[in-house]
Structure 1
Amino acid sequence: MSQSTEVEPSTTAAPRRTATPVTATRRRPARRAGTPYAFLAPALILFTAFLAAPIFYAGYLSLRKVQVSGLGLGSKARTEVWAGLENYARSLSDPDFLPSVGRVGAYGLIVVPTMLGLALLMALLLDANRTREAVSKFARISIFLPYAVPAVVASLLWGFLYLPRVSPITDVVEAVGFTAPNLLSSDLTLWAVANIAVWGGTGFNMIVIYTALRAVPTSLYESARIDGASEIAIAWRIKIPIVMPSLVMTFVFSLIATLQVFAEPMTLRPLANTISTTWTPLMKVYRDAFTRNDIYAAAATSVIIALATFILSFGFLKLVGRRAFNQED
């Protein structure tokens, strides 16, 4: 009997010691559940205030219009009413809209392949010899430097280089014995604007592609060289397939920038009478909103541009995304 009474306390005391640590470990994650949201809150607030809210407000304005009663005099003579899709119909039927879309399409066909081709070529050349680090750093900075110049400043600089009377390029060409072309003429304006975009955007895309190349281990290239592969074969069969996701990403960025081209032609417009106020769709938005004071039509055109940007970007990603990002399949 005495032995049984001594065993019972020892068996009941053990669970009481382990109960406290278990409850403490279960409560600890609950205290930190809101930490990620606290870090995300500033970005979410800025995104909502400066991107999401203007988009929704533009969509709201695109469905409204001003109705004028009588002579349009008085405080209640001009009222904002529901317009439905009327503003979209006016924007799409505007005789200046489709030509501006055509110019942007031709602009993109020039800029995007040229810019990405040069960026890929420069990245491959810089990655071909990784031993000269000092030369590589200087080359990267030199190529990337034009991207740091704002688009308005770059357009002004190139604009004065395009003007025949003040351009040193014209003097050099005429000194050699040739006639310098007028790059701001109606035939060459598109190429002049595209040149500014290529000059300013190649460096950024080169850095993105070159960064992807630097992540590839050199042992992979050495194995290919041992097998007898040349540098061109290594670039074509190994490097380009590896950086394909970076090429897709830079293409999407370039496509979005092409559809939103505004600063270059708008800055060159005072220097050339060949650039109209509706040379690009965004310039048409600017004209409708700030020259004609028709913010409703401008909002409708903005929504059309945003939808076109989303459809083209999403469609391109769906077309090549699986092959580019899931190469192991």
Structure 2
Amino acid sequence: MTAPAVGPLLGRRRGRRRSPDRSQARIGYIFSSGYAVLLLAFGLFPSLYAIYLAFTKDGGFVGVDNFVRVFNDYRFWPAVQHVAVYIAFWLASLMIFVVLLALVVHAIRIRWASASVRFLYYIPGALAGASSVMLWLFLLDPTVSPVSGVLHALGFETFVQVVSIDNLPIVFTLIAFWAGAGGWIVIMYGALNNISDDVMEAARIDGAGPIASAWYIQIPLMRKWISYMAVMSLAAGTQLFVEPRVLSQASKGVVPQDYSLNQLAYLFAFRQNDFNGSAAISLLLLVVAVALSALFVFRGGLFERD
């Protein structure tokens, strides 16, 4: 009587066990391939082409001449200042109010009330950027706004006064916060849920109140998520375009068409037919955004393991 061939049988069984893993890997590659193609077509290749345009003119290499021409344009530095002030207000409002509102929502122990508040916060994010601006055109006009009393109390009598150049960073921050903060509040709420109940219970036993627990435990443990919010919001903030463009049309030129760097790049490309200068502005925006994002990533420990 011969012994059964155990080795070949085990090999076949192992092969059968591995086959589902391989098929799942193939499916994963198929699904991710669509994103990879779109990333190459609309992300990497356009970026490389913009770099080529930024250092050439009529097909010839010109070094930094396009950047010098952009720097010497009388509209460039005011646009830089406008975007920088807006980003400062925008990021500060997110860091303070999003974290604060997430902590407040997380402190609500009634489940339906907490879910309802999160849903209300998230609703504005479902509107497109242009739709949000159109809604705010109505809110910012003291003659028809439901908050006209507040606007009159602040000394604004007309829409033109509200959207003056000095007020625009605050106006754009309010629009962006109303449209985008809700989603970040939900994300921060999820980050708070990941904090161990044992940690919070230990803090309460040690006598820490809600404010001390938030400052010394919850916010430090949310540091990675706050850094992630800062990076993504910084990338969106540097692309300021829809809001000033719509307000420019609504205010009949009170808001300039070259208010932001994205608007200026648009004017270079489609009004002056200077795609090289437009690419130079775009590349500058990319470099600054990447540098600031790297600062948030490393200072916030975004890729550190717990």
- Normalising by structure 2, what TM-score? 0.86
- TM-aligned CA distance change 1:44 to 1:222, over 3 Å: same
Equivalence map 1:141-290=2 (5 Å): 141-170=119-148, 179-180=155-156, 182-272=161-251, 273-290=253-270
Number of aligned residue pairs: give it. Answer: 298
- TM-aligned CA distance change 1:94 to 1:26, over 3 Å: farther
Q: Which has the larger radius of gyration?
A: 1
Q: Distance in 2 between matches of 1:179 and 1:129?
A: 37
Residue identity in the other structure for 1:306: L
Distance apart, 1:96 and its partner CA = 1.4
Distance apart, 1:167 and its partner CA = 3.1
Match of 1:119 in 2: 98
Match of 2:74 in 1: 95
Pairwise CA RMSD of aligned residues?
Answer: 2.6
Runs of 5+ in structure 1 lacking a partner?
Answer: 1-9, 67-79
Q: Deviations over 1:277-329 (max 9, x none)?
A: 2211111111111111211211121111111111111133223327x845x5x
Secondary structure of the equivalent of 2:286? Answer: helix
The answer as to whether partners of 1:115 and 1:201 remain within 8 angstroms in 2 is no
Residue identity in the other structure for 1:44: A
Runs of 5+ in structure 2 lacking a partner?
Answer: none
Q: Distance in 2 between matches of 1:30 and 1:219?
A: 42
Q: Distance in 1 between matches of 2:201 and 2:298?
A: 35
Q: Distance in 2 between matches of 1:83 and 1:218?
A: 61
Residue identity in the other structure for 2:8: T
The answer as to whether partners of 1:116 and 1:205 remain within 8 angstroms in 2 is no
Distance apart, 1:178 and its partner CA = 7.4
Of 228-237 and 36-45, deviating more is: 36-45
1:58 aligns with 2:38: no
Q: Deviations over 1:59-91 (max 9, x none)?
A: 22223323xxxxxxxxxxxxx444333222222
Q: Distance in 2 between matches of 1:25 and 1:158?
A: 65
- Normalising by structure 1, what TM-score? 0.81
The counterpart of 2:107, out of the listed 119, 128, 152, is: 128
* Greater than 6 Å deviation, 4+ residue runs: 25-28
Match of 2:282 in 1: 302
Q: Deviations over 1:171-202 (max 9, x none)?
A: 6765xx77435211232222212211122222
1:20 aligns with 2:20: no
The answer as to whether partners of 2:244 and 2:257 remain within 8 angstroms in 1 is no
- TM-aligned CA distance change 1:26 to 1:244, over 3 Å: same
